[in-house]
Every structure is written in C-alpha cells, then in structure tokens.
Amino acid sequence: MNGYNFTERVRKVLQLARQEAITLRHEYVGTEHMLLGLCAEGDGVADAALTNLGVDTEAVREQILKTVRPGKDDGSDAVPAAGGILGAITSSLGFARQDRDMPYTSRAKKVLELAMSEARELNHSYVGTEHLLLGLMREEKGIAAQVLGSMGVTLAAVRNEVVRLLGTEMPPPAAGHSKQPTRSRRVERQAAITLVVEHPDGRIEARKFRSTNDAVSYLNGLEY
C-alpha cells in the first residue's frame, strides 16, 4: 500500500476550511467548508482546473453562502476549539480555547477517503488539491458537489482537466475491475492506509491506520 503525503496546499485548505466554519459559526467542517477553503487557497491544480472550466470561485462562495445558514451567535467572543489545526488557527487569532472539538462531517471524511482513492488511481504518492477537488465531486450528495453541479461542473470534466493539467493519463482499469468496489474490496482498502506527513521541523513521519476515520483523527491532531 503506497503512503499518501497530504501536500502543504491541502493542509492549508483544511486549515482554511476550519476557518470558514468558524466564520460561519458552525460546529463542524463539511464539504461546503472544504470547497470554500479551496477557493480561498486560490492556487494549485484544483484552482487552475476550476478556472479552466469557467468556474468563478467568487461565484462559488456566493452560492455556498446562499445555501448554508450561519450558526447562532451566542454573544461570546470565544470560538470553540480543541487543538490540532483548529487550535493553531484560534491561537494565532487570539481566541480563547475551550475543550470542544470541531469534527468533520461523515461526508467530509468520505471526501478525504475519496481523495486518497483518486491519488491511488492516478498512481500518485501524494494527495494534492486536485485529488481533494475530485473527492468533493465524487461525494455527490455533499453541498460542495451540488453547488459545483449547479454551475455545470461534472466529475468527468474535472477529472479530464486535472489529467490534462498534470500531463498524465488515466491508467487503464484492471481486468474484471468494477466501478463500484465490492464491500470486501472497500474494507481491504480501508484496512491499510498509510499517511506520510512532513512536520514543520523537517521530520518526515509515516503512520499506518486501519480506517479512514483514524487517519482523519490523526490529521486533526496535528499542530501547524
């Protein structure tokens, strides 16, 4: 099983996604926050793919803000936080930290799983913004995919543009390969996920996880 190194841009997108959730006073990170993070990052293959497909990222932001409602303002200046990327954000902004986490929704966790799947299918040993965008599109019931779909963006169009930008070709499907993996195949893939993380001090760490949820929990706990 290949290791999957989440690039610095992806980690920045996830950080920005949490910031978007904070701004909207949401107590979770969903696919809509991830897409807002991609738009805010404003660089990388995903941004180039959306631009080439005629997508205005500001229009995406406006559409998302029309779709989701901000959370209730409880009158407190403190922002819920619990370490990890979110803790780094709140600390840098000077907000008080509380013992409460901001979890990823089940759809957002699925997006990370699908992003790793896209990297695997493209024979990449890293997960970049392009894979994250493809993951958002594949989780078609999420707000992110619905917003992009309303703008005429399709998964096939995104994948073709990503492949074109990277100058690579999609590997042919293996004999007997099915588009929808069986349950046993999905379990097998989830049972051996390896993340390769480069820490700010230059250390490179590889960790194996038996499930995507465990991998996401580990990423949530990283400090940047």
Structural domain includes residue 191: no
Phi, psi of 46 (to 5 degrees): -60, -45
> Among the listed ranges 117-126, 178-187, 212-221, which one has the minimum average pLDDT value?
178-187
pLDDT band per the 50, 70, 90 thresholds, residue 167: confident
Find tokens 């996880």 and name the residue.
Answer: 209
59-110 pLDDT tens trace: 999 999 999 988 876 544 344 443 444 444 334 433 334 434 789 999 999 9
Structural domain includes residue 132: yes
Q: For position 168, what pLDDT does the model report?
A: 62
Question: What ranges in the chain are assigned the alpha helix state H?
Answer: 8-23, 31-41, 44-52, 57-67, 84-93, 106-121, 129-138, 143-150, 155-166, 183-190, 212-220
pTM: 0.66
Mean pLDDT taken over the chain: 76
CATH value at residue 64: 1.10.1780.10
Structural domain includes residue 69: yes
Domain boundaries, position 38: 8-111+126-177
Domain count of the chain?
A: 1
Residue 104 burial (C-beta neighbours within 10 Å; 0-12, 13-18, 19+): buried
Phi, psi of 193 (to 5 degrees): -95, 125
Residue 122's nearest CA partner among 82, 86, 166 is 166
What pairing do the DSSP bridges indicate for beta strands 193-198 and 3-6? parallel
Structural domain includes residue 195: no
pLDDT band per the 50, 70, 90 thresholds, residue 199: low
Structural domain includes residue 198: no
How far is it, in rounded angstroms, from Cα 148 to Cα 50?
Answer: 9
Structural domain includes residue 146: yes
The residue among 95 and 154 whose pLDDT is bigger is 154
Once rounded to an integer, what is the mean pLDDT over residues 176-204?
Answer: 49
96-125 pLDDT tens trace: 344 347 899 999 999 999 999 999 999 998
